[in-house]
Amino acid sequence: MVVETVRNALRLVDCDQNAVRLGLTRGLTLADARARIPDLVVVEAEPQADQRLIERLAAFCDRFTPLVALDPPHGLLLDITGCAHLFGGEAALRAVIAERLRAGGLHQRSAIAGTPEAAHALCRFGAGGIVPPGEDEAMIRPLPVAALEVAAETVIALSRAGLKSVADLAERPSMVLSARFGEDLAIRLRRVLGREDVRITPLRPAPACMVERHFAEPLLDMQGLEAVVMRLIAEAARLLEQRGEGGRAFEISLFRTDGAVRRLGIETGRPSRDADAILRLYRERIDTLADPLDPGFGFDAIRLAIPVCEPLNTHQPSLDGRAVEDEAVAELLDRLVTRFGRDRVLRFAARDTHDPRREARAVPVATPASAIAWPMPEPNEPPTRPLQLFEPPQPIETLAEVPDGPPLRFRWRRVLHEIARAEGPERIAPEWWRDGPAEPARDYYRVEDAQGRRFWLFRAGLYERENEMPRWFLHGLFA
């Protein structure tokens, strides 16, 4: 027996078959249960442990179909459309799942029907089994109204009205039931009878492309495992080529015979269907595992899923060889991401701000190009921003003709620079919502000294308006 505190009393929340035969039911207080059966064995309810078990079972069932959803509180929904023939048909698949769960010490009841709600009702309120196509309603009609799983008050009201089975409700007009008992009853009735089909929401989204292998005998050899992965990658590459696409993310799922699932993820910076390159990334991923692959009693299924696909056309190499260089750089980035993780291999992207201190941000290297585009400079114009910025800006000593004008010379790191050319000012106001109202404005100048070196200087504050003697700083160096 499983007990939990409900309404300030310990009550039975789950009963096994032996307890049901002895007359115990859910909701009965523990005191009443012990009065009937003094030597009753009970355990405290652990909802978190139950949830973890259900999630592990969902991962186990992922080997039968990629579309697995939770059916609270203790059930699973599997969409086996197009998958049953891989296991010899619906009856054989149902038998395999039951046998595997029974071997794990679990008792289960299953039903196969045309809609999720119909299968749910037959499994929990009927005898289960397999419903022939088109006969969902005939199998559901004898079930009690509790199979609709509406509010308890609605079930009591239906019973008092003499409507005790689903067949009694199916004969009534939907508008009459909605007016008397609410629209929720009519919706549940249509779905349970199979008149309205609502697809399940799987725990893991269905991949865009998927290939897999099931083995009659568990696979224990790691070299054999790599050979199978190699064939799966080659098969997926052919499918992607037929569709004119490439994968951006690859996931290899290894299903062990004991129910454990190990998943290995691989990402690429751009669409790819190069089998050799993907295999190299797989080997790189294996080498970086902190917990090495353990086949246990062997793998009985291996799946390669490609959740993200993008169009990929065949590119003709350019005569200058740049395409080969770009390909080499892309492969290097993929290997770095695989070895160190996507959050540790970064690139700079533009941020929508006028403050030069915040114009750049670090993003993962796999970020789409549209999200990292930098503003294009004007043609035949020198760059407006330097390649190197100092943080914090370097203080300098200056001499200017007029207080608000550019300096004639400045001293930086004990070296005096005579200014030959200057352009500016470019006044940049502070972001008051970040820096506060006390932050002064900055007047930036692009200057060039007598030796041709170019600097980016600014004066912090406006002369006699924000500061009596504004200070000068060197913020960056142009190439």
Quickly list DSSP for 101-152.
HHHTT-----EE-SSHHHHHHHHHHS--EEPPTT-HHHHHTTSBGGGG---H
Whether the per-residue pLDDT at 82 is higher than 60: the answer is yes
Residue 316: pLDDT band with limits 50, 70, 90: low
pLDDT of residue 323: 61
Please measure the distance between the N-terminal and C-terminal CA atoms of the chain and give it in whole angstroms.
77
Domain 2-45 has CATH 3.40.1170: yes
Total length of the chain: 479
Residue 367 — pLDDT band, cuts 50, 70, 90?
Answer: confident
- Which CATH number among 3.90.420.10, 3.40.50.261, 3.30.1490.100, 3.40.50.720 corresponds to the domain 209-337? 3.30.1490.100
> For the chain, what percent of residues have pLDDT higher than 70?
95
Residue 318 confidence (pLDDT): 60
Confidence (pLDDT) at 317: 61
Average pLDDT (117-135) is: 90
- Which of 50-54, 187-191, 397-401 is the least confident region? 397-401
Q: What is the pLDDT of residues 184-196, one digit of tens each?
A: 888 888 888 888 8
What's the mean per-residue pLDDT of the chain?
87
**Confidence at residue 119, expressed as pLDDT on a 0 to 100 scale:** 92
438 is written with which tokens?
């006390």
Instruction: Identify the pLDDT of residue 73.
Output: 84
Contact in structure between 278 and 233 (CB atoms under 8 Å): yes
Tokens of 427: 């006044």
Write down the pTM of the prediction.
Answer: 0.71
Percent of the chain with pLDDT strictly greater than 90 = 32
Helix (H) or strand (E) holding 288: none
Most confident option among 52-61, 188-197, 331-340 = 52-61
Please tell me the distance from the alpha carbon of residue 212 to that of residue 62, in angstroms, as a whole number: 12
Res 105: pLDDT: 87
Assigned token pair, 72: 């609270």
Measured distance CA(162)–CA(171) in Å, rounded: 13
Question: Pick from 188, 94, 193, 185: which is nearest to 139 by CA?
Answer: 193
* Phi, psi for 364 (deg, rounded to 5): -55, 145
Token pair for 287 = 């080498």
pLDDT tens digits, residue range 212-264? 999 989 998 888 899 999 999 999 999 999 999 999 899 999 999 888 899 99
Phi then psi for 174, rounded to 5 degrees? -65, -35
Numbered ranges of CATH 3.30.1490.100 in the chain: 209-337
